[in-house]
Amino acid sequence: AQSVTQLGSHVSVSEGALVLLRCNYSSSVPPYLFWYVQYPNQGLQLLLKYTSAATLVKGINGFEAEFKKSETSFHLTKPSAHMSDAAEYFCAVSAVTGANNLFFGTGTRLTVIP
C-alpha cells in the first residue's frame, strides 16, 4: 500500500529564507510522487511530480523536490520564500492499481513572515 507522511503541519519562514517542506513516502513499488499547493478557498494546483525520469524535479514558482530512495523522502524546497508562497502544501503518492487515485499527506501550512 502507498502512503505519505508530512512532517510539520505548520511551517513559518521569513521572506527571502529557504523553504523546506518534508515528505516521506511508503510504497511497495517504485512510487509516483506529487506536490500540490492549495491557496485559501481554492482547489489544488500541481507544483511538480516525480515519475522516475530524474531524481531532482523542478516545478512552478521556483519550487523543486529531490527524490531520495534511500531515505524514502521527497522534500520540497525553494531557495527564497515570497509572500505569495503562503498556502497549504500537500504531498501525494499515486496508487498503482485500480483507481490510480492519489493518497495525500495531511498537509503543511506555510506562513511567510515579512
| Interface with other proteins, residue 61, by CB under 8 A | no
Q: Which is nearer to other proteins, 62 or 107 (CB)?
A: 107
In single-letter form, the type of residue at position 87 comes to A
The answer to whether residues 112 and 82 touch, using CB atoms and an 8 Å cutoff, is yes
Q: Partners of 12 in the beta sheet?
A: 111
x/- track of binding to other proteins for residues 8-27 (CB under 8 A) = -x------------------
| Interface with other proteins, residue 106, by CB under 8 A | yes
The answer to whether residues 40 and 56 touch, using CB atoms and an 8 Å cutoff, is no
Stretch that binds other proteins, among 11-19, 35-43, 60-68, 72-80 (CB under 8 A): 35-43
Q: How far apart are CA 74 and CA 104, in angstroms?
A: 13
Q: Which is nearer to other proteins, 34 or 63 (CB)?
A: 34
Cβ atoms within 10 Å, residue 98: 6
The answer to whether residues 81 and 18 touch, using CB atoms and an 8 Å cutoff, is yes
| Interface with other proteins, residue 42, by CB under 8 A | yes
Of 81, 2, 70, nearest to 34 by C-alpha is 2
x/- track of binding to other proteins for residues 84-103 (CB under 8 A) = ------x---xxx-xxxxx-
Least gap, CB of 48 to other proteins (angstroms): 10
Q: Which residues bind other proteins (CB under 8 A)?
A: 9, 32, 34, 36, 41-46, 49, 51, 90, 94-96, 98-102, 104-107
